[in-house]
C-alpha cells in the first residue's frame, strides 16, 4: 500500500466556464477524492484561484500536478504539502443548547476566539476561524453537545513572505 499524504494544492486558473470541470477530471480519473475545494476570483478578474485538498500517494499526485499544469486554462498549480504556509478556514457551528448549557458553550467558543453570529431559544450559532486543525479541535469540544449543523468553507492558503502562492 502506497503512503497516502494530505496535499494542499493552490491553482491560478483562467476565470472561464468549464475550468473547474477540467481540474476536477484530473482528480476523478485517478480516483482521488477532493477533500475540500475553494474557488474564488483572483485580484485580476481574468483569473480565479482554487485551493484543493486531496489525499493520496506522492507519485500519483506529482503526475497529477504535471497534468494540472498541462491544462491550457491552468496558469500555475503548486502542491504545498510539507510547506509552512499561511492557512485559514472558517466554520459555522449550529449547536442545540438549553439555558444551562449555553454559558458553557459560549465560554468554550470564547477560548477558541469564536464569534456568536446567531442565537435562538434553543440554538447558538458560532463562527470559528483559523487553521483547519483548530476547527477540528473545536469540533471535538462540541461533540458532547448536539451539533445541529456544521458548515466549513474549506482551506484557503497563501505562501509566506515574497514567495508566490501559485
Partner 1 sequence: MIRKMKTAAELMLDVLHQSGVSHVFGIPGGNSIPIYDALTHHPLQLILTRHEQGATHMADGFARTSGKPSVVCVTSGPGATNTLTGILTAMMDSIPMLIITGQSITPNIGLDAFQEADVMGMSFPVVKHSYRVSDPQDISRIIREALHIATTGRPGPVLVDIPKDVSAAMVNVDIECEQDLPGYQAAPEINIGELELAANLINAAHRPVILSGHGVILSDASKALMEVVEKMRIPVTTTLLGKGGFPDTHELCLGLPGMHGTAYANKALCESDLIVSIGARWDDRITGIPEKFCTNARKIHFDIDPVEIGKIIPVDCAVIGDARMALEELIAYLKPGELKSWNNRIRSWKRSFPLKYRKEGKLRAQHIIEELSKLAGPEAVVCTDVGQHQMWAAQFVKTDKGKNWISSGGAGTMGFGLPSAIGAQLARPDATIYAIVGDGSFQMTFCELATATINKLPIKIILMNNRYLGMVRQWQHLFYDNRFTGVDLVGNPDFIKLASAYNIKGFRVKRSSDVRKTLKAAIDWNDGPCLIEAVVEQHDNVFPMVPAGATLEEMIIEPPKRPRVVS
Residues that bind partner 1 (CB under 8 A): 13-14, 17-18, 21-22, 25, 29, 59, 62-63, 66-67, 69-76
Contact between 52 and 71 (Cβ < 8 Å): no
Shortest separation between residue 4's beta carbon and partner 1, angstroms: 19
The torsion defined by the Cα of 135, 48, 61 and 57, in degrees rounded to 10, comes to 10
Q: At closest approach, how far in Å is the CB of 20 from partner 1?
A: 11
Between the CA atoms of 78, 81, 85 and 87, what dihedral angle is there, to the nearest 10 degrees?
Answer: 100
- Name the residue among 153, 139, 10 with its Cα closest to residue 88: 153
Work out how close the CB of 12 gets to partner 1 at its nearest, in angstroms, rounded to a whole number.
8
Q: How far is the CB of 91 from partner 1 (least distance, A)?
A: 32
Nearer to partner 1, 54 or 166 (CB): 166
Q: Please answer whether residues 105 and 95 qualify as being in contact, where contact means their C-beta atoms are separated by less than 8 angstroms.
A: yes
Nearer of residues 63 and 148 to partner 1, judged by Cβ: 63
Find the helix packing angle between 132-142 and 99-111, rounded to 10°: 160
Q: How many CB atoms lie within 10 A of CB 46?
A: 10
CA distance 127 to 144: 18
Whichever of 18 and 82 has its CB closer to partner 1, that residue is 18
Q: Which is nearer to partner 1, 41 or 113 (CB)?
A: 41
Cα(135)–Cα(152) distance, integer angstroms:
9
Cβ at position 83, least distance to partner 1 in Å? 21
Q: Which is nearer to partner 1, 21 or 140 (CB)?
A: 21
Amino acid at each position: 500500500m502506497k503512503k497516502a499524504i494530505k496535499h494542499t494544492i493552490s491553482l491560478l486558473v483562467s476565470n472561464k466556464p468549464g475550468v473547474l470541470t477540467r481540474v476536477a477530471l484530473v482528480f476523478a480519473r485517478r480516483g482521488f477524492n477532493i477533500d475540500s475545494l475553494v474557488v474564488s476570483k483572483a485580484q485580476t478578474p481574468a483569473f480565479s484561484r482554487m485551493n484543493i485538498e486531496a489525499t493520496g500517494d506522492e507519485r500519483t499526485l506529482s503526475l497529477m500536478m504535471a497534468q494540472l499544469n498541462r491544462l491550457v486554462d491552468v496558469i500555475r498549480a503548486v502542491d504545498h504539502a510539507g510547506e509552512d504556509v499561511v492557512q485559514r478556514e472558517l466554520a459555522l457551528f449550529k449547536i442545540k443548547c438549553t439555558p444551562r448549557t449555553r454559558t458553557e458553550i459560549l465560554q468554550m467558543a470564547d477560548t477558541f476566539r469564536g464569534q456568536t453570529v446567531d442565537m435562538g431559544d434553543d440554538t447558538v450559532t458560532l463562527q470559528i476561524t483559523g487553521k483547519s486543525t483548530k476547527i477540528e479541535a473545536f469540533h471535538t469540544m462540541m461533540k458532547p453537545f448536539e451539533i445541529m449543523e456544521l458548515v466549513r468553507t474549506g482551506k484557503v492558503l497563501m505562501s509566506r513572505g515574497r514567495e508566490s502562492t501559485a
